[in-house]
Copies of this chain bind each other. A is one copy, B any other.
Amino acid sequence: MAQPEAQSGTTATENPSPYQSKLYVPQASSRPGEAADFSDLKIPAAGDTGKPALDCTATEISELAYGLVRVLDDEGQATGPWAPALKPEQLRQGLKHMMHVRAYDERMFRMQRQGKLSFYMKCTGEEAIAVSQAMALESGDMLFPTYRQQGLLFVRGRPVVDMMCHCISNSKDNLKGRQMPVFYSWKEGNYFSISGNLATQYSQAVGWAMASAYKGEDHLACAWVGDGSTAEADVYHALLFASTYRAPAILNVVNNQWAISTPQSFAAAGSTFAARGTGFSIPSLRVDGNDFLAVYAATQWAAERARLGLGATFIEHFTYRTEGHSTSDNPDGYRAKGEGQAWPLGDPIERLKQHLINLGEWSQEQHEALAIELKDSVTADWKQAISYGTLDEGPHWPVETVFDDVFKDMPAHLRKQRQKMGV
């Protein structure tokens, strides 16, 4: 892949520097006032990419790190060697999960705007990744997500009420009021505690996978990181340790092209993210992240490799962050307003819906009815959740429980501090 064309990044209008800077500064795909334009993107046709043998080497398939595995074409037809053998029932299940996630996100975002949550993050446009991957994995596989893989919880069956209770830190919050919204943890579902620190858990996932191999078990670890977060050292360590010890892990990069206001060009090193895996001898794929079927197939392939003892797989999911980073920012301040519309890979829900309709397994009417059903169910869940307490009014966990779990057993100095709290 060629380097992006050399452009000086300066836009200074009033630069008093005596220096003639030659520093290159990357550009954004678009900024406000510009026309969003993805026409330079080379997007291979669905079905065009070959499916390599499970025991391929990274260099043998290095082209796949620069391409794009796609199954669903623009008309919603599944095509090519990667098309997974999924039953209509499974496809409908996937569609339902994605729609459920979207309904949940919309509700929670609105509740944040009404002051009921301190913060919220949606995954709009990226639902296929978490939902499809969770469906392709086994329940004993350990998930190390970021804050944008809420879909995993829906597939693994976490009660929505419990997720909400966490987000409003109420008396039923399994995290006891300690974490910001969306930093879920769910041991029962093998869903690891999310950290506010980006990328730190990516390399922990590899350690988890090494332990699985150490114990002779078949479980794999699956971890996610955003495009921007790939710059963190933990990603390097994850790749290196996964390669060195051939850990049974799936390492995903969710390239939604933005990291708050920073475009992927600051993290992508003029290449694809997947390309970074090849130098570590880790077979690396680049996948249409808005294509439920392609994500499923790639994950299944990677999981099989892991279970056969063939080591880790690195997967870049190419997608687009349709909305703001979180409730704290307005994307219109840093990218062209129409960029989301210009994005050519579409919406994952629409694409899977069309596929199911093509198969004769779904209809517009069913779709609309399901959307209403899910919206109502989320509304009912919310009502139930706030019946266990709200962020501002409580009830919360008793405040003195903040001293619990710092250590397994509370040492004397914390007992003393708890007393001083006077509750």
Contact = CB atoms under 8 A, between A and B. Distances in A.
A87 interface: no
Contacts of A62: 62
Interface stretch (A154-162, A272-280, A407-415): A272-280
A1 interface: yes
Interface string A248-277: 000000000000000001110111000111
A394 to B, nearest CB: 42
A309 B6 CA distance: 10
Contact of A233 (B21, B213, B236, B277): B236
Contact of A278 (B235, B275, B309): B275
A273 to B, nearest CB: 9
A279 B276 contact: yes
Nearest to A283: B3
Nearest to A1: B59
A294 to B, nearest CB: 22
A16 interface: no
A311 B6 CA distance: 11
B2 A57 contact: yes
A26 interface: yes
Contacts of A57: 1-3
Contacts of A275: 278-279
14 contacts: A2-B59, A6-B309, A19-B214, A19-B216, A21-B216, A22-B309, A23-B246, A58-B271, A65-B279, A244-B265, A244-B270, A270-B281, A271-B279, A271-B281
Interface of A: 1-3, 6, 19-26, 57-59, 62, 65-66, 210, 213-216, 231, 233, 235-237, 239-240, 243-246, 265-267, 269-271, 275-282, 309, 311
